[in-house]
Structure 1
Amino acid sequence: MKNDATIRIDIVKAPSSKIKSVDFENLTFGNTFTDHMMVCDYENGEWQQPKIRPYGPIELEPSAKVFHYGQAVFEGMKAFRDNDDTIWMFRPEENFNRINKSSKRLAIPEFPKEYFFKSLEALLKLDKDWIKKGFGNSLYIRPFVIATEPGVSASPGKNYKFMIICSPAQSYYTGEVRVKFSEEFSRAADGGVGFAKAAGNYGAQFYPTNLAKEEGFQQIIWTDANSHEFLEEAGTMNIFFRVNDKLLTAPISDRILDGITRKSLIAMADVYDIPVEVRKISVKEIVEAAKDGSLKEIFGAGTAAVINPINGFGYKGEKYELPKLTESYASFLKDKLMKIQYNLAEDPFGWRYEVKE
């Protein structure tokens, strides 16, 4: 492995930028992409030189194993620009570690740390104009890796492509969200790949989520595969419940993603003396709390939205509305976390990562 000082990124700049054609005041999340992308190929048993190229299509054979056996994992990260034009990332080493953890579970070779950080920083510097100032504005970063070896034999690929693409984003708002507690479908099972950011995990969610939407819900809170008695995750986010003044969240496992926002919120809650219990949470417990008025909040936590408040839920044909709070844990924690991300507050945790010019 080359050390950081000897790594060279092969950069080909786009002949012109499309940034002037983008309406940054009206962005649809994940639909607009910057001028460049990073590509690194795995061939002959090792990762080759990282390259930065103009954003555009890639060519794959129809028999590429990613299409047939789903060898694909990804990450979600963000970059922020503060009022002094400094660019920051939020806990990027956690994302790096997690994509390699996901890769290992799908028999994909792990990506070198030096390649990841050097190529990512080079990409952000090249497309820095796409990172806009303003609380809520950010650049969403999508690293992913796919199996590219042609062949339909049921075996891991020998060739892979690690890529990073970037998309400008605004403050994420989805309107009022109501969820359905899953009674039949499960996101993941013991011993499976639920802890990994495997592409197939998310594709498998679409059908039951569509069914929930037909009933008037926007998302699903998944229950355990064995009994459907315990609440685990909400759609693509970790989930928190506030019962009286205590926050509850499920423990991570081989079924539940080790969310970076989740673990950050738990750490922040401790600093601000908000009691948190990390334990199994039963459907029965939350339904009873909703009935007796002790259930104050439910919110999802993830990179895209940071925190997404939930207004109500449905279970076994019954619908439950949550109270509208003027001072919620969700809004308090979201504000504190985002101020760290945008360098508007002290970072006692050491989470900010500066992208130096």
Structure 2
Amino acid sequence: MKILNVVGARPNFVKIAPLHRAFLRYPDMHSRIVHTGQHHDFAMSGIFFEQLCIPPPDHFLGVGLGSVTTQTAEIMRAFETVIREETPDLVIVVGDVTSTLACALAAVQMRIPLAHVEAGLRSRDRTMPEEMNRILTDAMADELFVTEAAGMENLLRESVDPARIHLVGNVMIDSLRMMRERIDDPAILAQWEITAGQYLLVTLHRPANVDHACGLRNILAVLSVVSKRWPVVFVVHPRTHSRLMEFGLIQELECMRSVTMLPPQGYIQFLTLVRHAAAVLTDSGGVQEETTFLKIPCITLRNSTERPVTIACGTNYLLPDFNAQKVWNILEFALHKGKEASIPPLWDGLAADRIANILREKYINS
């Protein structure tokens, strides 16, 4: 059985790494990696391959920068060529980025069975490009691998055949568990002169937060207030940095004495920052899951989340329509009282093995 695993953006690499390793354990499963090039520089993709022990991709499509429409079209065109060359038995897409939908469309058009890992997540916010990518990919997929019970409920509500839905756990946690020892060493923080447990970690990149000057000014107001009590480590996404420059706000951020700005980090470096933070402020989906597993308080600066389990049994607090005072209030509560948290069911590091076993049963042993 030949499988094409699609990666394009850095969250994809974290999810594909354990899947690729699980497939390689079986001589009758042939796993190949296709990198679309959606994140094309070393900071955003190359270092993840190294740290997650992923081999160089078998195919690099080199799509690079461009509008979502342009990227989608170019990925589909290039991936169609790869499918014709490889003639796979299955295409696997993960998550909800542009590459996910583009390669799903190409696979379905060419009548190749499609599996979606991290299926069923719904924010109910269709202004998010990721939400539309998830909905459309799930509508096309033959096999839907789900991380949490809410995903099962969403798919059943959308009249998906239950035989196609598989609750398997979270492959991101597979990677985190594998790297647990390497992110437990506070010595990694020494290069930035950061003290473990004594800082707030911030990472923000969603268009709703950073694509408008008023949104960025709101974020700077939040950082100005919280940094008076806690040192802030702000890992600045390229999109956010670009908007700070565009709106003339970068100097205001640089002048905040208790805010340390860092460029995008490798997987191990970033998870080390998460692991040793007092709390995290984010708008990232994956970070909500990682903080839940690590039991680090997380404040999500969004109006909705597609990962409700991180709130129901994890450490996540959703904060819509936020301002500096609201963030301060939630932060004080999370740090001094908090809530009892538990790790969601099946987030045990074995999700990739479950997926491999299901695929073998359905496509090899049947």
Normalised TM-score (structure 2): 0.30
RCO higher in 1 or 2 (8 Å CA, sep ≥ 6)?
Answer: 1
Q: Answer 1 or 2: which has greater strand percent.
A: 1
| Structure index of larger Rg | 1
Q: Answer 1 or 2: which has greater helix percent.
A: 2
